[in-house]
Amino acid sequence: MNLKNETRKEIVIAKIYKGERLDVMLSKELDELSRSLIQSLIKNSFIKVDGKEVKPGYKIKTGEKVLIVIPPAPEIKTVSPTTLDFPILFEDEDIVIVNKPYGLVVHPGAGHEEQSVVSGLLSHTKLSPIGAPLRPGVVHRLDKTTSGVMVLAKTEAAHKKLSRAFTRHLVEKEYIALVQGKTEATRGTIEISIERDRVNRKRMKATSPEKGKPALSHYEVLERFKGYTLVKVTIKTGRTHQIRVHMSYIGHPIAGDVLYNGKKFPGETKLFLHSKRLSLKHPILGKQMEWETPLPTEFEKVVKSLRSPEFPG
pLDDT mean over 127-142: 91
pLDDT mean over 252-274: 95
- The verdict on residue 1 lying in a domain is no
Measure the CA–CA gap between 117 and 311, rounded to whole angstroms.
Answer: 36
Domain span including residue 16: 7-70
HSE-CB for 275 with a 13 A CA cutoff = 28
Cα-based distances in Å from 196 to 177, 190, 211, 224, 242: 22, 18, 10, 32, 11
Q: Note whether 15 and 102 are same-domain residues.
A: no
Backbone angles phi, psi at 311, to 5 degrees: -65, 125
Using pLDDT thresholds of 50, 70 and 90, give the confidence band for residue 40. confident
pLDDT given for residue 64 in this prediction:
95
User: In CATH, what number is assigned to the domain containing residue 272?
Assistant: 3.30.2350.10
HSE-CB for 239 with a 13 A CA cutoff = 24
Report pLDDT digits (tens) over 139-162.
999 999 999 999 999 999 999 999
What are the catalytic residues? 143
Q: Note whether 271 and 250 are same-domain residues.
A: yes
Report pLDDT digits (tens) over 221-234.
999 999 999 999 99
Q: Note whether 203 and 304 are same-domain residues.
A: yes
- The verdict on residue 192 lying in a domain is yes
pTM of the shown model? 0.76
Measure the CA–CA gap between 275 and 256, rounded to whole angstroms.
Answer: 16
Q: Note whether 61 and 145 are same-domain residues.
A: no
- The verdict on residue 199 lying in a domain is yes
- The verdict on residue 11 lying in a domain is yes
Query: Which among 2-16, 43-57, 139-153 has the top mean pLDDT?
Result: 139-153
pLDDT given for residue 157 in this prediction:
95
User: Which of 70, 87, 110 is the last residue before a domain boundary?
Assistant: 70
Residue 34 has pLDDT above 50, yes or no: yes
Using pLDDT thresholds of 50, 70 and 90, give the confidence band for residue 31. low
Are 152 and 96 in contact by the 8 Å Cβ rule? The answer is: yes
pLDDT mean over 84-110: 93
On the 0-12 / 13-18 / 19+ scale of CB atoms within 10 A, 184 is exposed
The structural domain count of the chain equals 3
